[in-house]
């Protein structure tokens, strides 16, 4: 096996980085350059956090929404801009949110794809591009794209299990069918489970049956990172890989956020406890819960 470095990008989300498509591009390219400087030699597998593309909802109308106090206020300003009236739609506000996301999806998908394809080429890396809300027919899914070092999209994974902020009371996304594709990389087969999906151990087991060796879990935790919260997260990917000694999990977490939705968390790279020097299951872990970090682990050949 070639020398491979695994990277979890604990990215700090700031509204200003979504003020234009070019600003988003420069932000992502800056991060992948930093990543490549961290591991200048060998193959790279880089995983960005969940919802890295969510801020693109605001990009085309940044001046209109930038003074909003809450996500709901920003959404209402966008609905006014696109003449989407929750009072006249069957289904009310949730239907209006879905209509807004479907309206904005072509721009979100195009920008998300173009930027991360360029990032993969720039860093000469395999990139799991966090996720973005992308429409397909009548639905909008929390969707991850994966790119090879040539910038080719080689895998699409949609989130199967949704949290409250993604359900009807929030973004009104659709839960995806249970489809678990995988792709060959220099470190072996790679699969993706988006955030809450990584707490469903039967999905990890299904990936293991396919021979997945690298399991990416892009995450965004819009809660304070208390001791109890951190302990709860240990029931996800860390616990799930314990039955599969061949598997390594990469769990990057977004920190910061947009308006009143703010996140904390510690990114990590995990494996079976007996594979880790201290027996904790952590091969590498972020030092902070609210600061941007690059978490790296070099796989041994």
User: Is 25 a residue whose pLDDT tops 80?
Assistant: yes
CA distances from 118 to 56, 113, 121 (A): 17, 9, 5
Q: Which two structure tokens, joined as six digits, stand for 141?
A: 């899914």
Q: What is the pLDDT of residue 57?
A: 98
Closest by CA to 190, choosing from 146, 131, 253, is 146
User: Is 3 a residue whose pLDDT tops 90?
Assistant: no
Distance, in Å, from the CA atom of 275 to the CA atom of 181, rounded to the nearest integer, reads 26
The fold for domain 4-60+99-299 equals Nitrilase/N-carbamoyl-D-aminoacid amidohydrolase (3.60.110)
Mean pLDDT across the stretch 70-97? Answer: 95
Q: How many CB atoms lie within 10 A of CB 41?
A: 9
Q: What is the pLDDT of residue 141?
A: 98
CA distances from 55 to 127, 239, 263 (A): 19, 31, 14
Q: Is 152 exposed, middle or buried (0-12, 13-18, 19+ CB in 10 A)?
A: exposed
User: Is 241 a residue whose pLDDT tops 60?
Assistant: yes
Mean pLDDT across the stretch 3-11? Answer: 96
Q: Phi and psi of 142, rounded to 5°?
A: -80, 110
Q: What is the pLDDT of residue 263?
A: 98
Question: What's the pLDDT tens digit per position in 29-59?
Answer: 999 999 999 888 889 999 999 999 999 999 9
CA angle 84, 90, 94 (to 5 degrees): 65
Closest by CA to 129, choosing from 274, 9, 277, 242, is 9
Q: What is the pLDDT of residue 300?
A: 77
User: Is 188 a residue whose pLDDT tops 90?
Assistant: yes
Looking at 13-17, 35-39, 54-58, 181-185, which range is the least confident one? 35-39
Q: Phi and psi of 108, rounded to 5°?
A: -60, -50
- Rounded to two decimals, the pTM is 0.96
Q: Is 145 exposed, middle or buried (0-12, 13-18, 19+ CB in 10 A)?
A: buried
Who contacts 275 (Cβ-Cβ below 8 Å, separation ≥6)?
A: 245, 283
Question: What's the pLDDT tens digit per position in 254-267?
Answer: 999 999 999 999 99
Q: What is the domain partition of the chain in residue ranges?
A: 4-60+99-299
Mean pLDDT across the stretch 174-203? Answer: 97
Distance, in Å, from the CA atom of 291 to the CA atom of 148, rounded to the nearest integer, reads 28
Q: Residue 43 is inside which H or E element, if any?
A: strand 43-47
User: Is 131 a residue whose pLDDT tops 70?
Assistant: yes
Distance, in Å, from the CA atom of 246 to the CA atom of 271, rounded to the nearest integer, reads 8
DSSP category for residue 18: G
Contact 287, 8 (CB under 8 A): no
User: Is 1 a residue whose pLDDT tops 70?
Assistant: no
């Amino acid at each position: 096996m070639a020398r491979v470095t695994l990277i979890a990008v604990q990215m700090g989300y700031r509204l200003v980085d979504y003020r234009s498509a070019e600003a988003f591009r420069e932000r992502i390219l800056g991060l992948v350059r930093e990543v490549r400087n961290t591991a200048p030699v060998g193959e790279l597998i880089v995983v960005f956090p969940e919802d890295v593309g969510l801020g693109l909802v605001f990009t085309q109308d940044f001046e209109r929404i930038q003074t909003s106090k809450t996500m709901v206020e920003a959404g209402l300003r966008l609905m006014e801009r696109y003449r989407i009236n929750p009072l006249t739609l069957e289904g009310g506000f949730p239907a209006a949110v879905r209509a807004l996301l479907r309206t904005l999806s072509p721009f979100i998908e195009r920008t998300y794809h173009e930027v991360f394809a360029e990032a993969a080429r720039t860093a000469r890396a395999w990139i799991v591009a966090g996720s973005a809300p992308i429409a397909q027919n009548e639905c909008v899914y929390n969707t991850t794209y994966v790119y090879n070092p040539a910038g080719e999209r080689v895998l699409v994974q949609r989130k199967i299990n949704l949290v409250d902020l993604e359900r009807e009371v929030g973004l009104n996304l659709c839960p995806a069918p249970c489809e678990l594709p995988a792709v060959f990389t220099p470190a072996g087969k790679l699969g993706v489970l988006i955030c809450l999906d990584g707490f469903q151990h039967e999905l990890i087991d299904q990936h293991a049956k396919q021979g997945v060796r690298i399991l990416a879990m892009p995450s965004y935790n819009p809660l304070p990172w208390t001791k109890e919260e951190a302990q709860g997260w240990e029931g996800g990917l860390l616990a799930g890989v314990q039955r599969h000694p061949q598997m390594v999990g990469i769990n990057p977490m977004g920190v910061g956020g947009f308006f009143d939705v703010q996140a904390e968390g510690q990114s990590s790279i995990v494996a079976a406890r007996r594979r880790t020097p201290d027996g904790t299951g952590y091969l590498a872990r972020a030092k902070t819960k609210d600061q941007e970090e690059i978490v790296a682990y070099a796989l041994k050949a």
